[in-house]
Chain A
Amino acid sequence: NAGVTQTPKFQVLKTGQSMTLQCAQDMNHEYMSWYRQDPGMGLRLIHYSVGAGITDQGEVPNGYNVSRSTTEDFPLRLLSAAPSQTSVYFCASSLRDSVSTDTQYFGPGTRLTVL
């Protein structure tokens, strides 16, 4: 199993540009989520999904869209990039039952810089 994969590893955008961060998992996990991690800070949940066709907002959803058309893929779209979105983005997945959802498997991250 490849686990959770993310592309690209690095990205530089100009303010106002849009882009999609890709996330895929091959573990047949129902639950997938996106976090951002700012320097010296913990992870903050952006959006999550409990299964194909179902998404919901986390703690910091503004400026981001998600969709879940398949179990495997959970892309994160930045609609109009802002410097405040400069961060490291992690995708995670897990089985969906009460305890297993908190045993999450993280991807390697995408380091995004918005100029």
Chain B
Amino acid sequence: DAKTTQPTSMDCAEGRAANLPCNHSTISGNEYVYWYRQIHSQGPQYIIHGLKNNETNEMASLIITEDRKSSTLILPHATLRDTAVYYCIVRVASGGGADGLTFGKGTHLIIQP
């Protein structure tokens, strides 16, 4: 799996868009970008994933650069409940193999009131 680099922490004002960057300069053509988050003391939560195109769902948008070497997760209207550690994971689709999801250190996003 390609290595990812994320800022250790970020602040964002409540109601504003939170933009979380992720660098994955060694990504290969068949690797997907996944985003998860973990709110304190809870299980990780899947947010979104993409391969090449930008993606949007009810939780967030994922913007992947044309060269696929970086991506940005956008929470359009952050709330206090979005305070969590956000993980960017790059991997080949596993199909249920023995290599579980690898969560690095992630970005601790703090939403300020």
Binding site for B on A (CB under 8 A): 4, 30-31, 33, 35, 42-45, 48, 50, 56-59, 90, 92, 94, 96-99, 101-109
Contact = CB atoms under 8 A, between A and B. Distances in A.
B34 A102 contact: yes
A102 B100 CA distance: 8
Nearest to B102: A42
A42 B94 contact: no
A95 to B, nearest CB: 9
B44 A99 contact: no
Interface residues of B, number: 23
Contacts, number: 72
Contacts of B102: 42-43
Contact of A57 (B94, B98, B101, B103): B98
A102 B42 contact: no
Nearest to A34: B100
26 contacts: A4-B43, A30-B96, A35-B100, A42-B102, A42-B103, A42-B105, A43-B101, A45-B99, A58-B100, A59-B98, A90-B44, A94-B96, A96-B95, A97-B95, A99-B49, A101-B93, A102-B32, A102-B34, A102-B89, A102-B93, A102-B94, A102-B101, A104-B46, A106-B44, A109-B41, A109-B43
A106 B104 CA distance: 17
A59 B99 CA distance: 7
B38 to A, nearest CB: 9
Contacts of A106: 43-45
B91 interface: yes
Contacts of A92: 43-44
